[in-house]
Structure 1
Amino acid sequence: MSKAYAKNWGSENRAGAVAPARLRPVGAGGGTIDRLRRRFADLPPPVVIYNKSHSGSRLLAQMLADQGVFIGGKLNESNDAMAILPLIERLVEDYYPNYQTLWDQEWPTDLEALFVTALMEHLTGYDGRSPWGWKLCETTYIIPIIAAVFPQARFIHLLRDGQDVAFSDHVPPQARFWRKVYFNNGDIQGWRGLSLTNRAYVRRPHIYNALHWMNAVEVGRSYGAMLHGRCLEVRYEDLCQDFIPVSRRILGFLSLAPVEAALTARSATVRRGAIGKHHQRRRQRREVLRLIEPTLLSLGYLEAPSRPSPLWQVRERWYSILRQAGKMWGRMRRP
Structure 2
Amino acid sequence: MSNAYAKNWDSQSRAGTPASRPARTVHSQGGTIERLRRRFADLPAPVIVYNKSHSGSRLLAQMLDDQGVFIGGKLNESNDAMAILPLVERLVEDYYPDYHALWDREWPTDLEALFVTAMMEHLAGYDGHSPWGWKLCETTYIVPIIAAVFPEARFIHLLRDGLDVAFSDHVPPQARFWRKVYFNNGDIQGWRGLSMTNRAYVRRPHVYNALHWMNSVEVGRTYGAMLQERYLEVRYEDLCQDFIPTSHRILAFMGQVADEAALMRRSASVRKGAIGKHHRHRRQRRQVVRLIEPTLLSLGYLEAPSQPTLLWRLRERWYSVLREAGKGWSRLRGRRHG
Q: Classify the TM-score, shorter chain.
A: over 0.9
Matched with 1:32 is: 32
Matched, 1:85 2:85: yes
Matched with 2:300 is: 300
Question: How far apart in 2 are the matches of 1:79 and 1:21?
Answer: 32
Matched with 1:277 is: 277
Matched with 2:211 is: 211
Matched, 1:235 2:228: no
Matched with 2:254 is: 254
AA matched with 1:284: Q
Q: Aligned with 1:164: secondary structure?
A: helix
Q: Give yes or no for contact 2:46–2:154 (8 Å, CA) kept in 1.
A: yes
- Deviation at residue 331 of structure 1 after TM alignment: 3.0
Deviates more, 1:319-328 or 1:27-36: 319-328
Q: Give yes or no for contact 1:93–1:177 (8 Å, CA) kept in 2.
A: yes
Question: How far apart in 1 are the matches of 2:78 and 2:16?
Answer: 31
- Deviation at residue 22 of structure 1 after TM alignment: 7.5
Q: Give yes or no for contact 2:2–2:125 (8 Å, CA) kept in 1.
A: no
Matched with 2:75 is: 75
1:23 and 1:268, CA in 2 relative to 1: closer, same or farther beyond 3 A?
Answer: farther
Question: How far apart in 2 are the matches of 1:119 and 1:20?
Answer: 13
Question: How far apart in 1 are the matches of 2:94 and 2:328?
Answer: 53
TM-align CA RMSD: 1.7
Matched with 1:175 is: 175
Question: How far apart in 2 are the matches of 1:114 and 1:326?
Answer: 60
Matched, 1:63 2:63: yes
TM-score normalized by structure 2?
A: 0.94
Summarize deviations over 1:46-93 as a string: whole Å, max 9, x none: 000000000000000000000000000000000000000000000001
Matched with 1:150 is: 150
Matched with 1:15 is: none
Question: How far apart in 1 are the matches of 2:274 and 2:237?
Answer: 10
Question: How far apart in 1 are the matches of 2:279 and 2:65?
Answer: 33
1:266 and 1:152, CA in 2 relative to 1: closer, same or farther beyond 3 A?
Answer: same
- Deviation at residue 288 of structure 1 after TM alignment: 0.7
What are the ranges of 5 or more consecutive residues in structure 2 without an aligned counterpart? 19-25
Q: Give yes or no for contact 2:27–2:106 (8 Å, CA) kept in 1.
A: no
Question: How far apart in 2 are the matches of 1:255 and 1:91?
Answer: 30
Q: Give yes or no for contact 1:20–1:120 (8 Å, CA) kept in 2.
A: no
- Deviation at residue 320 of structure 1 after TM alignment: 1.6
Matched with 1:263 is: 263
Q: Give yes or no for contact 2:207–2:287 (8 Å, CA) kept in 1.
A: yes
Question: How far apart in 2 are the matches of 1:316 and 1:21?
Answer: 70
Q: Aligned with 1:49: secondary structure?
A: strand
AA matched with 2:292: I
AA matched with 1:81: A
Summarize deviations over 1:105-149 as a string: whole Å, max 9, x none: 111111111000000000000000100000000000000000000
Summarize deviations over 1:255-295 as a string: whole Å, max 9, x none: 00001111111011111000000000001011111110011
TM-score normalized by structure 1?
A: 0.95
1:140 and 1:318, CA in 2 relative to 1: closer, same or farther beyond 3 A?
Answer: same
Q: Give yes or no for contact 2:74–2:121 (8 Å, CA) kept in 1.
A: yes
Q: Give yes or no for contact 1:20–1:117 (8 Å, CA) kept in 2.
A: no
Q: Aligned with 1:69: secondary structure?
A: coil
- Deviation at residue 314 of structure 1 after TM alignment: 1.5
AA matched with 2:67: Q
Q: Give yes or no for contact 1:211–1:292 (8 Å, CA) kept in 2.
A: yes
AA matched with 2:321: I
1:177 and 1:246, CA in 2 relative to 1: closer, same or farther beyond 3 A?
Answer: same
